Structures are given as C-alpha cells and as structure tokens.
Amino acid sequence: MSLPYGVILAGGQATRMGGGDKGLREVAGRPLLAHVIDRLAPQVAGIVLNANGAPGRLAGFGLPVVADSLPGWPGPLAGVLAGLDWAAAQGAEAIVSVAADTPFFPPDLVLRLQQAAAPSGLALAATREGDRLWRHPTFGLWPVTLREDLRAALEGGLRKVVLWTDRHGAGLAEFGTEPFDPFFNINTPEDIVTAERLAGLA
C-alpha cells in the first residue's frame, strides 16, 4: 500500500481565536503547525500546506503552500481540492487531509484510513463515545480520481463535507477517545491551555 501525500488544512479564518493563523500560535513552546507536521510526516510521502493569503509567512516550515482554488472561503473541501490538484501534479494517487489546529491526531491515522477505505477510495476518521459516532470530516483519505467530481460539487455550491463523502459511500476509521480525544482541536485561547496539558500525555 503506497503512502499518500499529506495536506494540512490551514485555510480557515480563525475567528474564535481573534483571526490570524492558528497554526502559528505556540503550544508547549512550539508553533501548533510544527506539532501537526511532526505527527503527519512519518505517515505520508510528503506534505503540502493549504493556506490562503501571503504564503511567505509560512516559509519557515519549508513546505509548499497551496491556496484554495475557489474564492470566498468555501471551507475545508476547497482545501482538499487544492491538495488533490497539487498531488495530481506529483503523480500521486491519493492524499490524506488533517486539520492544522489538531495536534494530537493518531500516529496510525493514515494506515487506519487506508484500511477503512470504501471502493471509491474515500475514508473519514471517526470516534465513538458509547452509542454516539462522531465523524471528523477534515481528517480523510481522498483519491485523486474524484477531484473533478469534487470540483463540480463545490462549483455547484456544496460546502458540507459529509454530504459529498456520503454520496460516495466513504468508509469510516474508528478511533478511541482514551486517555483523551485525539481529535481535540484548538479554537479558542482557552483551548491552548488545555493543549498545553495534553501535550504531556500525547
């Protein structure tokens, strides 16, 4: 099973953090993006950042940066499409997307997504708490073969990730939530404090 490329979705506006780049906020003395890169790099063939605005502000991470190809901040699916277009140019068959504000995602995320992939090649990460299943649509395996279908859906106004992935019968890779939810994401300054504590457990 060949390694996909990794796409870090950092294209959001971070409104609950007061704007700016969440990925540049520090957790345990390092930028949040550095934690995400370190966790993703061993799992993929290479990494690209999806971010809008001036790419130079992210130059210190030494990674290529691709912006959304559609205007108006259309959401994470636009970042997935940008990553798919970039990966297609590298001759890749698939990408795995992760969120830039989620530093503790599983170290076997990519393998588990590949194992859970539907016939379409799609899979999303999920966690289960009791009888409740939570999908994490920014963490997924996306085949390059579906990029034109995704482009058409976005141009047609679709924004909700799971509406599109359900259409293609995406598989689910389920993860546990002990000792904490690995998909804990940082949205507020208070979440930074929580992440500092969790960094000692990850």
Q: What is the CATH number of the domain that holds 160?
A: 3.90.550.10
- At 191, phi and psi to the nearest 5? -65, -30
pLDDT of residue 74: 82
Percentage of residues of the chain with pLDDT beyond 70 = 95
Span 60-69, pLDDT tens digits = 999 999 999 8
Give the pTM: 0.93
Structural domain boundaries enclosing 61: 5-199
Number of independent structural domains in the chain: 1
Q: Which run of H or E residues covers position 191?
A: helix 189-199
Dihedral of the alpha carbons of 15, 150, 53, 60, in degrees to the nearest 10 = 100
d(CA 158, CA 58): 29
Residue type at position 143: P
